[in-house]
Amino acid sequence: MYKIFVGDIPIILSTKDYIAEDYFSAPIKECDLKKIIKKIKKENLKKVHLYHPKEHKLLKHFKKQIKPLTAGGGLVYNTNNEVLFIFRKGKWDLPKGHTKKNESIERSAIREVEEETGVKNLEIVNTLPTTYHIMKRKGKYRLKETFWFEMKTDYKGELKPQEEEDITKVEWKNLEESREALQNSFENIKMLFSKDYFKELQ
């Protein structure tokens, strides 16, 4: 199963042809995805389920209609077990950004964290779930596919928000502060935090 977010509304992709009575359900091959996305944005549609009997074809069919963009990002912990957050356009978020040509996704994720926050000495320690959301670029809908990594660092220097990317704050947050920040964040970001770490958010 996949969740592709339009804002905070997920389009659910699965191999089941039925999940609940109140969902709009349809075969993914027969859908006009652009029309569905427009209806979600206008708040005329809030529960969407698209299906195909073969799981490996769900994203394939989605990407045929909505061209993907690849990005990498980091859920970063310091030596105090605090989490690195950025504040952008009124929401708390995690650092991430588009992959450059011929750049590995791991290198992309580390570079973007460094550029958006000023944090150095990053080390990838784990792979996290990939997230998907719809964005507009040059007037067209695109599927942003973000590959996430858990990272650690011993960096104790200055935090530097990348203002040209509309980032106004960069902060380390402890458990309670992180829980509070996630109340003003995105649903796909909340998915990256483990059940054990944030039981109240599950």
Q: What is the mean pLDDT of the chain?
A: 92
Q: pLDDT by residue (tens digit) across 57-116?
A: 999 999 999 999 999 999 999 999 999 999 999 999 999 999 999 999 999 999 999 999
Q: Which CATH architecture has domain 68-201?
A: Alpha-Beta Complex (3.90)
In this predicted structure, the answer to whether residue 202 has a pLDDT above a threshold of 60 is no
* Mean local confidence (pLDDT), 156-174: 96
Q: Nearest CA to 76 among 41, 128, 32?
A: 128
* Mean local confidence (pLDDT), 153-169: 96
The domain locations on the chain are: 2-65, 68-201
Q: Residue 131: what pLDDT?
A: 96
Q: Report pTM.
A: 0.90
Encoded tokens for 176:
């309670």
In this predicted structure, the answer to whether residue 200 has a pLDDT above a threshold of 80 is no
Report H helices in the chain: 33-41, 58-65, 105-117, 175-182, 187-190
Distances (CA, A) of 61 to 16, 143, 147: 16, 12, 20
Q: Residue 193: what pLDDT?
A: 86
